[in-house]
Structure 1
Amino acid sequence: MKLGGRPACACLLLALAVGQNALAGGLQISPVNLTLSATQNADGIWLSNEGTAPLNAQVRVFNWQQSGNADRLSTSQGLVISPPIVTLPAGERQLVRVIRTTPATNQVEQAYRLFIDELPPAKVQKNTLQFVMRYSVPVFLQPVGQAENTAKLKWALVQTDGKTFIDNAASNDTAQPVGVDLYLDTTVNGNAVGLVHLGYAQGKLYGDAMALRQLGFHLPEKAQPPFYLNDIAQVTVDYNVQQQTLALTAPLSLLDLKTTQLNQSEMASPKAANAFGALLNYDLYGDSGKNSNFNTFSEFRAFNSAGVLSSTQLTRYSTEQNNNQSFSRLDTSWRSSFPDKMLAVTLGDTLTSSLSWSRQTRIAGVKIGTDFGLNPYMPTTPLPAFLGSATLPSSVELYVNGVKYYNGEVPAGSFQLNTLPNITGAGNAQVMMTDALGRTSVQNFSFYNDQLLLREGLTDWSLELGVVRKNYGYSSFDYASEPALSGTWRRGFSNSLTAGGHMEASDSLVNGGVSSDWIPWSQSGTISTALAASSDAGENGYLYGLGYRWSGGRFNFSSSVTATSGDYHDVATRYGAPPPALSGSAVVGYNFGVGGNLSLSYLQFRYPDQSAIRYANASWFKSITENVSLSASFNQNIDNTRDRSVYLMLTVSTSNSLTAGATVQRTGDKMGYQLNASQSPPSEGGVGWNVAASQQSSQQTGQGEVGYLGRYGRVYTGFRSIPDNNYGYAGATGSLVMMGGGVFAAREINNGFAVVSTDGIPDVPVKLQHNLVGNSDSSGLLLVTPLNSYQNNLISIDPMNLPANMRIRSVSLNATPADRSGTLVNFDIKPVRAAQVNLVDTKGKAIAEGSPVRLMSGIGQNSVVGFDGLTYFDALELHNQLRVTTENGICVAEFDYPENQKSVPTIGPIVCR
């Protein structure tokens, strides 16, 4: 058997040539070559059906040797394929594993060839040409001691001094020119990003802020480019010079996974699947000094498909006299959510809704209203639109403030592009259109957007009825005797006007008002207004509010004032302080670039029958280098010249989460100094610590703490010294989960989570968004957290170390938990009696490929005959009967399955009679 000497090829096999029509096969594979290191047990190839009809595919493996200019293939002894024959529905894909049968040796590299064939159907339409695909894929097994990245000739298209040329380099990538520009086809955690503009110098890839945001990294405003990808802690960089691709793997904590809607249509939120379970979050803290204290905070949750029951508690114990111990129930509630209607109902302890001018009140009762968080894929704020037309079919690209945010295709005719991202403030956008003839046109437009507005036609409402909670945090069941009613309503009347109202009532009190947020014209800024009135047992009062805000580029400004007159009351007034008689603020900020960021603010408060409180503040921040920053602040009480504070702080940070700082401050007539250093634990777990020392006047304080963040929670201990008291402390936070037949310890869980089942198979690696989170336990279970509620969270397994006789239905699934609840993710993995069966007719000739086969034994199973008369089943019994449909009719083959098989044997040849 011979093949040409090409490294990999895809060939068209002609099944029938009797007519004018042609049907093209849809089999696609990825990747197109495999290399297994000495420590690697298996790898895989994805087969996908890009056609419109189901197809059958066969994978065979052969030893590959080259003699002269010819390839010599023989039966493989070192690799097995699982499964060797697959049926792919249209649009589906299947992972096929390539598994070692023996460990790596110290000998030379071994080479194999995979034949991946799209099998022709048993019957072909008349007068039809049927084309099917064959892929020939090289597989290399590296011996023990060989480096995984051997020297190979590589090339890249690079740009230097405005010129493009081909650069040849050996295996050492540092041989490339310094400072070249690259445009790399990039993936981040397996998600395609597209072409990203990066630089390459001294063996490292680097990019500016635009590039890193395109890659999805969190980027602080103070960060200064260039950013070297190879130097980012916990980020794996796989740069393929030959193919000009880049694969990045990063922890979830470094990536911005916020949901962003960029296309014109809204994405439907996936349906959440809730399991039955219970959860306990705990936070324990104790200290010992002059007195000993022990405090606990706990949250109990029980959940099922109907909703979530939640209860929080606070316990305090102290050896201090007259303060021995106390227990306080905080909140207990049941919440049911209805994502299709974006509606939530809460029974029990809750907070009333409010607008910018009103106040929330804690009540026990019922709350019903809108919850946009039930569909996080739906944009709620206005998306400025661009209206245009295309004479010919065209491609459209959208740039916002110089950053590309969208590209797509539009047909001839008019179109509306509603794809601006959620950007607050003023900006400039550019739409670039290229028609089918290659002609390009560019149109510019400006916009102003405010995240506090609702998009046109969207309504947000809430209604609450209950009794007010009193002495919260100290008393568990102290409620008012009078019921209270509260309601809030907002609507986007247009993309530039959102208005709403709020009302409250209790006993003899009635309070109600309206407000609006309005953008009069493009880039004008937002004007906010509010007007309310109240009546309480004959005492009347009013509230007035006015505000303005604008931001864009380097400058931002905001101001607001709210005033009350008469006896203005709300429900909260009856159980606490009244609203301020006057509250106002003004803030202006400017980014000077190399001069840093400056912010000036003024605040004023005055409560009824009290003097006004007025403060002025000036703050400044400057990044000196990528790792060093300087900040300063000045605060002045305008009515008391002695009430003044000034501070200057220097901060130094490193790439390994180490931060150190020094602060000098003056408060009144007292000078103070502080030194601190800290290191945060890695997101995947590890040790963190912090130390601090300070002095103000003659008083000195000090603190030291060390902690460990693990898979099962966080523990910490420390020592603190303050005037007249030295004490040590320790604490722990975490959670316990009971769900899916298991009990799990984990870090504190504040969002959704999943219990992953591998069908009882232990030690299977599990990944969240392509990041390894752990292995299944002895029961085949693993708790995965945190997950985003009402969103698709990609969970996958690595099946490469599983035996070949394991049937794996899927290697990746989307998990969608509901609010603060858990969901079950079941991977169907089962040990099976699997085998390839070599079928021949009574003359010893292989049964024709494409012939349908039915397993009549046991549960029954359908398959197809591939090349060389091979078929495959994974539901075999000890004795089996096959029914084969051939061109000459139906024949039957019988055979026994050999016992104690740990792999996939080839049985036969078996005569079909």
Structure 2
Amino acid sequence: MWIALLLSGVHAGACADPVMSTAVAPPAAMAAAEVLEPGDGEAWLAVQLDPREPAQNFLALKRGGRWLVRGEDLRRWRLRLPETEPLMRGEDAWYPLDAMPGLAYSVDAATQTMSMDIPAGLYDPSLVAERPDYLDPTPSPPGGFLNYDVAAERRDGQTHTNALLEMGAFKASGSLLGTFLAGEWQDGLRLKRLDTTWTQDRPAARTSLRLGDAISGTTGWARSVRFGGVQWATNFDTQPTLVTYPQPGIAGEAALPSTVDLYINDALRSRQEVPAGPFTLQDLPVMTGQGEMSLVVRDVLGRERVISAPYYASPRLLRAGLHDYSYEMGFVRRDYGLSSNGYGRFLAVGTHRLGLSDRLTGEAHAELQRDQQTFGLGGVMLWPGAGVVNASLAASHGDGGDGGLVALGFQRQARVLSFGGNLQFASRRFRQLGLGSVRRWQGGSAGPGGYAPDQDASYEEVDRQVPRVSSQLFVSLATRGQGSFGLSHVRQDYRDEADIELFSANYSIGIGNLGFLSAALLRTLAPRMETSLSLLFTLPLGDRRTASIGTRREGGDQQATVRLQRNLPTGSGYGYRLLAAVGEPSRGEAGVSMQNDVGTYSLEAARYAGKDGVRASARGGVVALDGSAYLSRHVDDSFAVVKLPGYPDVRVYADNRLVARTDEDGNALLPGLRPYQKNPVRIEQADLPMDAEIDAIALDAIPYGRSGVLLAFPIRRSRGATLTILLEDGRPLPAGAEVHVAGQAQGFPVGQRGQAYLTGLSEHNRLAVTWRGQHCVFDATLPLSGDALPDMGRFLCIGVVP
């Protein structure tokens, strides 16, 4: 790097002749006890580190033909301190420039310039990270919502009605959520409870406390189970901008301040400035799997240099030092969806994952029940350039004895060729949660189609066993212009049950601008031999419409299908679906849907195998917040209520998209906000009257999950008016005078023709005018009129002379 040092004031005799010096290697260390004396070749210089920045002044010393600079100045310039012992003057440490390897410099007294050529390696490295900051959400005021999904269906001369209801209540300390299923059962119309959970999110710690119904944590080999009790677990959703898996970095160096363009798989992802010297870009926003990063470094002189490096990123890994855990205890849920309060055995489960390094993540999982105790360890390791390897080892103890499990897997994800597989072995007596139960029949026979119980056979419910051997294999190939291929194979070998084995193949290709062609084959090898083959061509028609034609053959049945569909828009609008199928079985379907700001409604009719049916459904919600209720679409995310008291029909935007208008009270509901993220909300200033004073037309909403926030915009009526102030001789008060309203600190300027505009007025006002040290005082009354900008009239200012 070339640096110009402008000599701004050199001590007499400090630099009489041009000097050229190059530091090839650092000289021998100076004696630590050597001390500089005041006046030794002092020179005030100006250094311009960056041609785009102004010069900086600093003090330099010249002693014995050598230039010395203070250590604090070297650090300010981001230069590494030489390894030699400094010379001391007072408390300042001085270092000779020729002790810095590779540094070349020259001093020309005639032009008062010092030029330096600094290698990039002499700079301290700079670090540029892409990790976003954490946002603290706004506490929720007390509120609630009700979601409904109601459907009525008529077929075979009978009508069936059911409804899925969800009720939520929230406040600053947490939220309560309950789901219920209402419908016609064998014993009549019933309301069945599904889940009831109190949740307290702690975004700063990325954790959640749940009381009530929940789902246990899991790892690669463990299974989840529904239970009722207490759970303390990591919740990365409370910091949605946090990337939990290790993201790669790339390093380079710049001899001059430069602009760096980052390309991920040939796509530009970011552009930023870096100073001179070594630099490292960390936490790059890469796609998962294998890829390539490229940096284009462009300095201030326009020179370019390209740095490339491969990477592999996997969401199965955790960042070094990052924890992911779930600890719970309670009672296993039984007959979910059939019984409101079916709970069984006590359980305690613990799951913990830890990023031991950016290449290795450790896992531990434990399950405790009265008749079963299971514990396992595992890990996921990055194989650089290849993929990720996972391995697990678990053991169990129970009433039936001890058992064990071992699992091994590999996965590679890439743009062209991806493949992987998992293999798991378990002993007969290995037990774990989440397997469910099976019916064990007493009396029957086995045949080619599987086990067939006799008519009078009995059965008992027993816990399902872990498969003796379980394996999954997959491979996919994505080509340019030739389409994408995929193959997979799944097999589960049981000891006392029928084995399961499936093979599938798929292919898809885009045919220019015409559409997409896909084919799929599914071959069931066990417990019965079955084959299914399908072929589908999809044609996009624009305006959310698609048409498709396909055929499917399964066993001895073959069916051809034609479909025309228009999807619902994001906002208000309609959609439809038409389907006709010939073959075995034949069927026809037609449906229309409509969506507005308060719900989604659909009507469908179908004919299948000679039987007709119709179905009508409605889906929406009701929100309650700050003493008001609002009809809404189904509340799946967070929401906000905008408060503009006294200002109806004002447009409200979220993410620059028109979402709502304020009602007659000045309130508006904004659904569909992203929880724990910044949602920019603004109002249309043009919809406000002229007498409206507002400090901000845009606010950020950062709500908790499934909760609401209030956005009270700082707005008020100005109660403004104009007036004209005249001097005693009838001429207008000169422009530049200032008017003060009693009780207000703010002053209002007087414009041309003695006119002024005042705000914050009351019915009766005492006004004071000042101009060039003179002042006058008079009273003014605000007229009670409906004018948006009333005029208070003309007033004489007694005592002010031009």
Q: Please state whether the residue corresponding to 1:759 is helix, strand or coil.
A: coil
1:894: how far off?
3.5
Letter in 1 for 2:474: V
| Cα distance in 1 for residues equivalent to 2:723 and 2:129 | 50
Work out whether 1:510 is the aligned partner of 2:373.
yes
Structure 1 window deviating more from structure 2 (322-331 vs 305-314): it is: 322-331
375, 396, 400: which one aligns with 1:534: 396
Q: Deviations over 1:38-68 (max 9, x none)?
A: xxxxxxxxxxxxxxxxxxxxxxxxxxxxxxx
In structure 2, runs of 5+ residues without a counterpart are 1-127, 438-462
Q: Please state whether the residue corresponding to 2:224 is helix, strand or coil.
A: coil
Paired residues, what number? 643
Q: Please state whether the residue corresponding to 1:800 is helix, strand or coil.
A: helix
Q: Please state whether the residue corresponding to 1:500 is helix, strand or coil.
A: strand
Aligned to 1:173: none
Work out whether 1:307 is the aligned partner of 2:193.
no
Matches within 5 A, 1:206-355: 263-290=129-156, 291-317=158-184, 322=186, 324-355=188-219
Q: Deviations over 1:690-735 (max 9, x none)?
A: 12222343x3222211121111101111212223532211111100
Letter in 1 for 2:369: S
1:672: how far off?
1.6
Q: CA 1:726–1:446 in structure 2 vs 1: closer, same or farther (change >3 Å)? A: same
1:897: how far off?
2.3
669, 674, 677: which one aligns with 1:791: 677
Work out whether 1:882 is the aligned partner of 2:749.
no
Work out whether 1:685 is the aligned partner of 2:572.
yes
1:823: how far off?
0.9
Work out whether 1:660 is the aligned partner of 2:541.
no
Work out whether 1:610 is the aligned partner of 2:497.
yes
Letter in 1 for 2:337: G
Aligned to 1:409: 273
Q: Deviations over 1:65-98 (max 9, x none)?
A: xxxxxxxxxxxxxxxxxxxxxxxxxxxxxxxxxx
Aligned to 1:593: 480
Q: CA 1:908–1:361 in structure 2 vs 1: closer, same or farther (change >3 Å)? A: same
| Cα distance in 2 for residues equivalent to 1:771 and 1:602 | 46
Aligned to 1:452: 316
Letter in 2 for 1:896: T
Is contact 1:839-1:847 (8 Å) kept? no
1:506: how far off?
1.0
Is contact 2:559-2:586 (8 Å) kept? no
Q: Deviations over 1:824-853 (max 9, x none)?
A: 11224433311245556667564563x665
Q: Deviations over 1:254-274 (max 9, x none)?
A: xxxxxxxx9534312242231
Work out whether 1:694 is the aligned partner of 2:581.
yes
Q: Please state whether the residue corresponding to 1:904 is helix, strand or coil.
A: coil
TM-score, normalising length: structure 2: 0.76
Q: Please state whether the residue corresponding to 1:600 is helix, strand or coil.
A: strand
Q: Please state whether the residue corresponding to 2:383 is helix, strand or coil.
A: coil
Letter in 1 for 2:746: N
Matches within 5 A, 1:14-413: 263-290=129-156, 291-317=158-184, 322=186, 324-413=188-277
Aligned to 2:108: none
Is contact 2:139-2:171 (8 Å) kept? no
1:863: how far off?
2.9
Is contact 2:130-2:285 (8 Å) kept? no
Aligned to 1:544: 406
Work out whether 1:564 is the aligned partner of 2:451.
no
| Cα distance in 2 for residues equivalent to 1:403 and 1:417 | 17
| Cα distance in 2 for residues equivalent to 1:906 and 1:633 | 78
Q: CA 1:902–1:648 in structure 2 vs 1: closer, same or farther (change >3 Å)? A: same
| Cα distance in 1 for residues equivalent to 2:422 and 2:728 | 93
Is contact 1:884-1:891 (8 Å) kept? yes
Q: Please state whether the residue corresponding to 1:563 is helix, strand or coil.
A: strand
Is contact 2:400-2:429 (8 Å) kept? no
Is contact 2:428-2:465 (8 Å) kept? no
Letter in 1 for 2:518: S
Is contact 1:742-1:781 (8 Å) kept? no
1:447: how far off?
0.8
783, 795, 798: which one aligns with 1:898: 783
751, 761, 765: which one aligns with 2:647: 761
| Cα distance in 2 for residues equivalent to 1:387 and 1:842 | 77
Aligned to 2:556: 669
Work out whether 1:747 is the aligned partner of 2:633.
yes
Q: CA 1:388–1:644 in structure 2 vs 1: closer, same or farther (change >3 Å)? A: same
Q: CA 1:848–1:293 in structure 2 vs 1: closer, same or farther (change >3 Å)? A: same
| Cα distance in 1 for residues equivalent to 2:500 and 2:182 | 36
Is contact 2:768-2:775 (8 Å) kept? yes
Letter in 2 for 1:812: A
1:390: how far off?
2.8
Is contact 1:759-1:828 (8 Å) kept? no
Q: CA 1:399–1:840 in structure 2 vs 1: closer, same or farther (change >3 Å)? A: farther
* Aligned residues: CA RMSD: 2.3
1:628: how far off?
1.4
Is contact 1:834-1:904 (8 Å) kept? yes
Q: Please state whether the residue corresponding to 1:601 is helix, strand or coil.
A: strand
1:327: how far off?
2.7
| Cα distance in 2 for residues equivalent to 1:817 and 1:316 | 34
Is contact 2:748-2:758 (8 Å) kept? no
1:870: how far off?
5.3
333, 337, 345: which one aligns with 1:473: 337
Q: Please state whether the residue corresponding to 2:204 is helix, strand or coil.
A: helix
| Cα distance in 2 for residues equivalent to 1:649 and 1:727 | 27
Is contact 1:863-1:871 (8 Å) kept? no
Q: CA 1:627–1:526 in structure 2 vs 1: closer, same or farther (change >3 Å)? A: same
Letter in 2 for 1:862: Q
714, 717, 727: which one aligns with 1:831: 717
1:889: how far off?
5.3
Q: Please state whether the residue corresponding to 1:638 is helix, strand or coil.
A: strand
Aligned to 1:133: none
Q: Deviations over 1:361-407 (max 9, x none)?
A: 11111001211111112222211011233333222221111111111
Q: Please state whether the residue corresponding to 2:746 is helix, strand or coil.
A: strand
Aligned to 1:71: none
Q: Deviations over 1:84-142 (max 9, x none)?
A: xxxxxxxxxxxxxxxxxxxxxxxxxxxxxxxxxxxxxxxxxxxxxxxxxxxxxxxxxxx
Q: Please state whether the residue corresponding to 2:280 is helix, strand or coil.
A: strand
Structure 1 window deviating more from structure 2 (502-511 vs 322-331): it is: 322-331
Q: Which has the larger radius of gyration?
A: 2
Aligned to 2:32: none
Work out whether 1:737 is the aligned partner of 2:623.
yes
319, 338, 347: which one aligns with 1:484: 347
TM-score, normalising length: structure 1: 0.67
Work out whether 1:805 is the aligned partner of 2:691.
yes
Q: Please state whether the residue corresponding to 1:340 is helix, strand or coil.
A: helix
Q: Deviations over 1:328-364 (max 9, x none)?
A: 1000010011112112100000011111211001111
Q: Please state whether the residue corresponding to 1:517 is helix, strand or coil.
A: strand
Q: CA 1:816–1:640 in structure 2 vs 1: closer, same or farther (change >3 Å)? A: closer
Q: CA 1:909–1:581 in structure 2 vs 1: closer, same or farther (change >3 Å)? A: farther
Aligned to 2:516: 629
Aligned to 1:715: 601
1:685: how far off?
1.5
Letter in 2 for 1:877: S
Is contact 2:738-2:750 (8 Å) kept? no
749, 752, 759: which one aligns with 1:865: 749
